[in-house]
Amino acid sequence: MRLSQTVFLACSAAAILATIWYMAAFNSIDGVKWPASPNRKAPPKTDTPVLSDTEKQLERLMEAIHQKNEELGIKESLVKEKEEALAEMEHQRKVEIAAQEAKAKKEEEEKAERKKKMKELADEIKKKQKEEEEKKKKQREDEEKERKRLSDAFWLIRERLAKEEAGLLRPVEVPQELRDKYTDDNNKLVPNSKQVLLLSAFNNSAESSDNMTRKVMINRDEYCKYHGYTHLFINTTRYIKQDQNQRSPRWWKIPAIKEAFKKHPEAEWIWYADYDIMITNEMVDLAQHLLNPYILAERITYGSPVNSLGDQLDGLRVPPRDHFDVNKVDIIFSQDFFGINTASFFIRRSVFTEFLLDIWDDPFFMDKEWLREEQDAFVFLYQHYKVVFEHTAIVPQRGINSYHKYKTETGSWQKDDLALNFAVPSEDEKRSTKELFDTYFIIRKKVPEEFQIN
């Protein structure tokens, strides 16, 4: 910009000088001056030198050049100041950028340091957790080994006791001198007749409406007809419909028992049996077999170990005979390989029973995730509530709940056993449940012909 202006001024000055030279050179031709204009007046005489027009123009031109140079100098100064200001701003910008970069770098370093420390802390926590888990795992393994060692010992003891229990099923007679205490006015052992109720409670689904269930109902009707017992069927479908939590149907035996006691106030004892249990000896009198107090006292498995939750043997035992009051017994169970089984049991009307049934199907217990549902719930009550423990009797499995070719000899069905449970998987893999059921239905010990139902 400045170079162009300088060139322009130089060219202008050269043009002006050329004009002045031309006018001076050609004011006369051949030494002859052109005459002055007649109308031209002579300039006034003065001591001040008179400048010619050309000189005046030159002077004005020089003043213009000088003024232009001053303006150019001012502009150059302004441009320089502007450039200096821009340079200062650029410097400040670079300083700020450098400061920001330094700050960002420091923050990144601090972040990396924090991340490193957090990783070290996390690694330390993981290490401690792993050590703790390994410690707990070893502890569990040691406990499991100890439990297995104890369980194996208990199983040996239990199997030996179970073999001794077989002798508890031998026939028992009430001594003549005690018969008045244990018989009614007709000299018949109590409970009898309508004092005993056989309860069948299940839903009307396809599972429980097949030919097998029909035969079970005939079997029970014949048995109760012969002995004078009451056979009550309760359809549990309505319990299922009323249940918003969709619990297992196994729980509905409890409200069914409550309903049976309410419908039949004359019933003292209820025998609850699942739909897949067959009475294989229809001639068995329940008072003579189990329910009479004198007989029951001879059937209880005193001192035998009882499985706690999780199928573990942890030292829980039926009390010895001299610490057991048979007159307090309100509920009778048997044990299989896994412990107390609720597929077939007896329960007596009493204040305790009313309490037991209420607490047994309390939502607090029903909604827990028990492995064997209502069965484990009762085991918990038996294990932790002294009053339940004192009112419960355990009898040999074959007394009320035999299995077909079961894994333990003492639980496997034998001739003249009262009942057979078809719900438990059999060791006899060659025959289906239906085939087994049909076979036992044929060979069962039946009531006299006049009491049979065709």
My answer on whether 327 and 215 are in the same domain is yes
Which of the four pLDDT bands, split at 50, 70 and 90, describes residue 38? low
| pLDDT of amino acid 30 | 44
Does 126 fall in a domain? yes
| pLDDT of amino acid 77 | 80
My answer on whether 325 and 207 are in the same domain is yes
My answer on whether 160 and 247 are in the same domain is no
* pLDDT per residue as tens digits for the range 269-319: 999 999 989 999 999 999 999 999 999 999 999 988 888 886 666 778 899
Does 205 fall in a domain? yes
> Coil, strand or helix: which one is 92?
helix
> Coil, strand or helix: which one is 336?
strand
My answer on whether 275 and 129 are in the same domain is no
Compute the mean pLDDT over every residue in the chain, rounded to the nearest whole number.
Answer: 84
My answer on whether 444 and 364 are in the same domain is yes
Does 77 fall in a domain? no
Does 115 fall in a domain? yes
| pLDDT of amino acid 133 | 87
* pLDDT per residue as tens digits for the range 349-379: 999 999 999 999 998 888 888 888 999 999 9
| pLDDT of amino acid 198 | 98
What CATH number did the domain enclosing 232 receive? Answer: 3.90.550.10
Does 51 fall in a domain? no
Q: Which of 284, 282, 283, 253 is nearest to 270 (CA)?
A: 253
My answer on whether 239 and 388 are in the same domain is yes
Does the pLDDT at position 391 exceed 90? Answer: yes
Which of the four pLDDT bands, split at 50, 70 and 90, describes residue 132? confident
Find all residues with CB under 8 Å of 296, minimum gap 6, and list them. Answer: 290, 326, 329, 332, 393, 395
Last residue of a domain, one of 122, 138, 168: 168
Cis omega before residue 191 (within 30°)? yes
My answer on whether 317 and 401 are in the same domain is yes
> Which residues are paired to 392 by β-bridges?
331
My answer on whether 150 and 221 are in the same domain is no
Which of the four pLDDT bands, split at 50, 70 and 90, describes residue 433? confident
> Coil, strand or helix: which one is 210?
coil
My answer on whether 125 and 199 are in the same domain is no
More confident residue, 246 or 449: 449
Which of the four pLDDT bands, split at 50, 70 and 90, describes residue 20? low
My answer on whether 162 and 218 are in the same domain is no
| pLDDT of amino acid 177 | 94
Does 281 fall in a domain? yes
My answer on whether 150 and 206 are in the same domain is no
My answer on whether 227 and 137 are in the same domain is no
CA distance 63 to 82: 28
Domain that holds residue 278: 189-451
> Which of 314-318, 331-335, 422-426 is least confident?
422-426
Across 140-151, average pLDDT: 68
The count of domains in the chain is 2
Across 407-415, average pLDDT: 77
Last residue of a domain, one of 168, 197, 212: 168
Find all residues with CB under 8 Å of 390, minimum gap 6, and list them. Answer: 325, 328
Does 142 fall in a domain? yes
Does 309 fall in a domain? yes
